[in-house]
Structure 1
Amino acid sequence: MSHPPLTYADIESAADTIRGRVRPVTLSALAPGTAPAGPDDPLDNGYRPVGEVLLAHEFEQHTGSFKARGALTFLAAHQATGTLPDAGVTIASGGNAGLACAWAAQQLGVRATVFLPETAPPVKIAKLRGYGAQIHLAGREYAEALAACEDFAAATGALASHAYAHPLIAAGAGTLLEEIVAQVPDLDTVVVAVGGGGLFAGVATAARKHGVHTVAVEPEHCRALNAAVEAREPVDVSVDSVASDSLGARRAWQGALDAALHDSVSSVLVSDPQIVAAREALWNRHGTAVEHGAATALAALLAPAPHGYRPRQGEKVVVVLCGANTDPSDLTPPGPTPDAA
C-alpha cells in the first residue's frame, strides 16, 4: 500500500499528539574507555571518539523501545478520525513493534492481536502477554508473520498496523530527534540503527530540517536500507545477524529509502562481533543492558577503520540506543573499572 511521503509537518503533528503520553528521552555522555583496546578485540585498537558523544536513552521509553512513539501516534490518529474498527488493531512484529502496539492499544482501550515469528525472544512474548494482547506465532521470519497478520486483518476487519512502513509510525519515531535537538541545539550528527526504516525515516526527516547529519547503521548481513540505496529501490535481502530480532527486515520501506537519498545521510555497515562487543562495552562501562539492535548504532563509532563512522574533531554526536528488550544473562559481569578501588 502506498502512502503520502513523510514530511516534517507530520512529525510536528505527532509531537502534539503524544506529548505528555511518552517519556521524554534523556541523554548521557559516552564514558571514557567505552571502546576496549587489544589486538583480539573486534573493536578498533585503542580508538576513542574525538568528538563529543552522547547516548540517547530511548531504551527507557514505555515498552522498552522507541516503537511506543509511533504506535501511539498511529492509533490515536485513527481513533480521532473514527477509523478504528471494533475488531481492534493487528500487527506483525519481531517483538518491539508488537509490544508498542499492544501498549498503545491498552492505553486507548483497544483490542490488539500480535503476530510474531517463532524466533521472537521469550522476554518479548512475556511482555506482550502482560499488555493483554492476543499472540500468534507464525513462521521463522518477519515476512511469514506479516503474511499471517494480513490474512487475519482481511478476515476480521481489524486495522492493520505495521512495524515500520507507515508515515504515522515514522512521524512518531521522528519526535525523538525533536527532543534531542531541544537538549542539544548545536547537534551535528545523530547515529541510529536501521531495520525496516521507520525510526530512521522519522529521525532523518527531522534531522534534515535542523541541518543535522544522520548516520544509518545496519548489520552487514541484515542490510535492507543499504541495499536499497545501492539499487535505488527497495530490494529483498538475506537476514542473518545477531540483531535480526529487531533489525531483521527483509526489505526496507520506500519512505526510508526516500529519506536516505540525501547528502545529509550516510550508510554504515558493522559486523556481528562489533555489535556484540559494543553491547558488552555499554554493559561494562555504563551498566546498561540493551538489545543487539541498539548496540548496532554504537558499534559504528567503535568499529575499526576504514569501517564505521569517525566523528571529526569537536563534532557533537548523539547515538540513539533504541531498545532494551533483551535477556541480559549472556552479558558477562563487569569487572573493576580503572576508577575502582
Structure 2
Amino acid sequence: MPEAPVTPDDVRRAAEVIRDGVHRTPTFTSRSLGSGRYLKAELFQRTGSFKARGALNHVRSLTREERDRGVISVSAGNHAQALAWAAGTEGIDALLVMWRTASAAKVDATRAYGASVDLEAADPGEAFARLRELEAETGRVFVHPFDDPVVIAGAGTVGLEILEDVPGVETVVVACGGGGLVSGIAAACVPAGVRVVAVEPEHSNALALGLAAGEPVPVTPETVADALTAPFTGQRPIEICGALGVEVVLVSDEEIREAFRFLYSRAKLAAEPGGATAVAAVLAGRIPGSNVVSVVSGGNVSADIASAILARL
C-alpha cells in the first residue's frame, strides 16, 4: 500500500497537541440501525462539529510571527466557527470569508467567537476567489478548511477515538465535502485494517469525481447538506483516499432528510443535515457488514431548516 500524505503518526501527534483543548466525544450503540451499528457523536464537539480538531491543531502549529499576522480562511460555517474559536483561544486575530447565502446562524456564531466575517462573495466559488484577494491584501496565514495536512491530521483524531472505543470496528462511514474528515479518519483507521466509506450527496459529489480524475474537479453543489458544499475536494484528500482505498457512496437529499429525522426521533441527536449524511447511507442499506460506526459530524443547523425537515415526522 503506498504511503498517504498524512500518516497514523501524524494523527497521533495531533491528538497530543489538541488533547487539552477539545472534547473526546462519545460513541453510542444504535439498535435502531441494527446489531453492531454505532454512532460517533461528533456533534458534541466544541463549536458543534469535528472542525474544531483540525483548526486547533493548525493554530497551535503556527510560529510567533505567523500568529502576529493573524489567520484567514473560507467556509460555509463549521470551519469558520472552529477557526474563530481556535484562534480566539490562542489570542490570534481571525478573518473568515463566507458567502451571502451561508447559514445566518453560522455567520452569527462565527462572529460570536470573535472573528471578523467577510460576506462579499455570492457563492462558494466566488468565496475562494475573494479569499485570495484578502489573503494578498492582509498578509494573513491561510488555514485551509480541508486541503491541509495539519488540519487533516487533527480531523483524523476522530478515527483514533473510534479505534479505542469500538474494539473490532470493521467499517467507518463518514460524510464528505472537501474531504478533510474522511481522509484524516482513513489515515488513522485504514492502516489498522478498518474499511472507510465516504458518503456524498448525489449532487455534491466532488470526491467521487476527484478520485476518478486523480485531481480536484470543480462542482456546483446542490444539496440540503450545506456543510458538504465545498466547490471541490482537496488534492491531499484525493491522494489519501485514493492511496488508502476509500470507497464512495452517494445519497439523495431525501435520504439525508430521512436520516436527520431518524437521528432526532430515535437517537435523540440534533444533527445538521451534513452530520446525518453518513447515517443516510446506512439507513438506505448501502453499507453491509457489522461493527459499523457512522460519524455524526456536526450539529450546527438553523431552526428553520430543522423545523422544515422535522415537519414530516
| TM-score, normalised relative to structure 2 | 0.93
Match 2:253 to one of 272, 279, 296: 272
Match 2:276 to one of 285, 295, 298: 295
Q: How does 1:71-90 map to 2 (within 5 A)?
A: 71-78=55-62, 81-90=63-72
Q: How does 1:162-311 map to 2 (within 5 A)?
A: 162-243=144-225, 245-262=226-243, 264-303=245-284, 308-310=286-288
Residue 141 (structure 1) shift: 2.0
| Larger deviation, residues 248-257 vs 215-224 | 248-257
Q: Is the 8 A contact 2:200 2:277 kept in 1?
A: yes
Report the equivalent of 2:16. 16
Which structure is larger by alpha-carbon Rg, 1 or 2? 1
Match 2:298 to one of 297, 320, 323: 323
Distance 2:67 2:293 in 1: 39
Residue 83 (structure 1) shift: 4.2
| TM-score, normalised relative to structure 1 | 0.86
Q: Deviations over 1:65-104 (max 9, x none)?
A: 00000000001001xx334242311111100000000000
Distance 1:56 1:153 in 2: 35
Label 1:263 to 1:115 Cα distance change in 2 as closer, same or farther (>3 A).
closer
Runs of 4+ in 1 over 4 A off after TM superposition: none
Aligned AA (1:321): V
Q: Is the 8 A contact 1:212 1:264 kept in 2?
A: no
Residue correspondences, number? 307
| Larger deviation, residues 55-64 vs 228-237 | 228-237
Residue 166 (structure 1) shift: 0.2
Residue 317 (structure 1) shift: 0.9
Distance 2:14 2:281 in 1: 29
Residue 309 (structure 1) shift: 2.0
Q: Is the 8 A contact 2:172 2:292 kept in 1?
A: yes
Q: How does 1:30-109 map to 2 (within 5 A)?
A: 30-32=30-32, 49=34, 51-78=35-62, 81-109=63-91
Percent sequence identity is 39
| Larger deviation, residues 247-256 vs 325-334 | 325-334
Aligned AA (2:310): T
Aligned AA (1:172): G
- Aligned pair 1:26/2:32, yes or no? no
Aligned AA (1:279): F
Structure 2 stretches of 5 or more lacking a match? none
Distance 1:164 1:258 in 2: 13
Q: Deviations over 1:178-218 (max 9, x none)?
A: 01111112111100000010111100111112111001000
Structure 1 stretches of 5 or more lacking a match? 35-48, 336-341
Residue 288 (structure 1) shift: 1.6
Q: Secondary structure at the residue paired with 1:115?
A: strand
Aligned AA (1:224): A
Distance 2:219 2:140 in 1: 29
Distance 2:174 2:255 in 1: 15
Q: Secondary structure at the residue paired with 2:292?
A: strand
